[in-house]
Each structure stands twice: as structure tokens, then as C-alpha cells.
Amino acid sequence: MGLFKKDSRSATNSGERTTRHSRGWAEVRSYLKSGETMRVLDFGATSPANINYLTTLGHSVYMSNVVQEATRPEWFAPVPADAPRGAKPEFDVDRFIAANFDFSGRDFDVVLLWDTANYLPPQMVPALFARLREVLRPEGMLLALFHGYLVGPETAFSRYQLTEGDDLILLESGNFPVLQIYQTRQIEKFLEGYSSFRFFLGKDNVREVLAVR
């Protein structure tokens, strides 16, 4: 089994614990149980529970916490001396993607992106989805969640812990703010090139998107 770690923190030592029903996870779980030796890319803080769940099904799991990584100052270009007053440093999208999305030739059957996109600099989100489309195998599934609000208790950055049922366990896992919310048309634009996708709207105003490569 393979394990690609971008963050050694375990979400089991994090803050508040909640649950949410997920139609998207229900369908991904069914797909994961339809075969063995799949590769799964799971975003967020390292989760021993998720590693154990997926490897018990006979799959390889690779983990990446790009939200934490994207806050590091080295990914922001210095503001030019002649820039207008109040100009903010530009996020270096190309360099970040090259450094954090090089999977050494691996591709994946399932990508569990969760709500990662909401916490990343907006200028890199289109490149994120383009790169994930490149590494997702034909007929592979991508599950992404999108918050409908910038602030509120439901926007707390959390580790999504897998379960045997249709509910996910959410464990607060950091103090990262939602940087951008996305409308349906924007999300559809991100998913151009996928063979199909479906939206599910939860009671917490979180939209789930299940895309098939």
C-alpha cells in the first residue's frame, strides 16, 4: 500500500466533532466496494482512520494537505516596488502545482477533494481541478464539496472521516478561513472535460459534486 503525506498532523487530536449525511460519499463508497487495488487521493490532515478504512478494502491511499501548505509565504511573489498602494502578493500557481501535485506518474481511481477549494487562493482553483482531471483515471470519481457561506459554524476547516454508513464524521482541524465561495456555473466550468457530474445540496448549504472522468 502506498501513502503520500504532505502533513503529519492527525485529525484525531483536533477539536469539535460533528457528522453530516453525504449522498456523494454513499456513491463513492459503493464504487470503492465494487473492486480492489484502487488508488485513492484523500485531501486534508492525515487521518489514520481513513487510511485504515481504505486499506482494509484493499486500496492504496495517498494523502495531501494543500490548504496548510498554501499558507506558506514562499508561494507568494514579492510585491513589485512600482505596484499600486495596497497591492497584495500574487500566489505562484504554477510553482505550487508543480511542487505539490507531482505524484511520480501515479494516477487515481478516486479523489476525495472535500471542501479544499474553498480554502485555497481563488486564482489556483481552476488549475487544481485541471490537474486532478489529468491524474484521475477514466471512469474514476472525484467528490468535491463547496460551502455556500464565507463565515459560520459550518465553514470550520475540518478533517472528513470516512464511515461505513452514509454519514461523514467532521473533526475540526485548523483555523483556515473560507477564502472564496463558488456559484454553480463556476463549478461547472471547473469540471469541463469530465464525462459527467451531479450536484447534491445538503441542509447545511453545502453543495456536493460527484464528477466522473
Q: Which cell is 65 given?
A: 494537505
Phi, psi torsion values for 152, nearest 5 degrees: 135, 160
Please report the pLDDT score of residue 179 as a whole number. Answer: 96
Q: Is residue 108 part of a domain?
A: yes
For residues 42 and 142, is the Cβ–Cβ distance under 8 A? no
> Looking at the domain assignment, is residue 82 inside a domain?
no
Dmax (CA) of the chain: 58
pLDDT for 59: 97
By three-state DSSP, how is residue 16 classified? coil
Q: How many domains does the chain have?
A: 1
pTM of the predicted structure, to 2 decimals: 0.89
**Inside any domain, residue 142:** yes
For 36-51, what is each residue's pLDDT tens digit? 899 999 999 889 999 9
Residue 15: per-residue pLDDT: 58
Confirm whether 5 is domain-assigned. Answer: no
Per-residue pLDDT tens digits for 21-74: 999 999 999 999 999 899 999 999 889 999 999 999 999 999 999 999 999 999
Bridge partners for 170 per DSSP: 18, 160
Strand-pair category, 167-172 with 17-21: antiparallel
pLDDT per residue as tens digits for the range 75-110 = 998 877 676 776 778 899 999 999 999 998 999 999
199: in domain = yes
Task: Give a yes or no: residue 15 inside a domain.
Answer: yes
Convert the pLDDT of each residue in 157-168 to its tens digit.
Answer: 999 999 999 999
Domain membership flag for residue 27: yes
CATH code for the domain of 181: 3.40.50.150
Show the domain range for 23. Answer: 11-77+88-212
Within its chain, how far is the Cα of 160 from the centroid?
Answer: 10
Q: Is residue 181 part of a domain?
A: yes
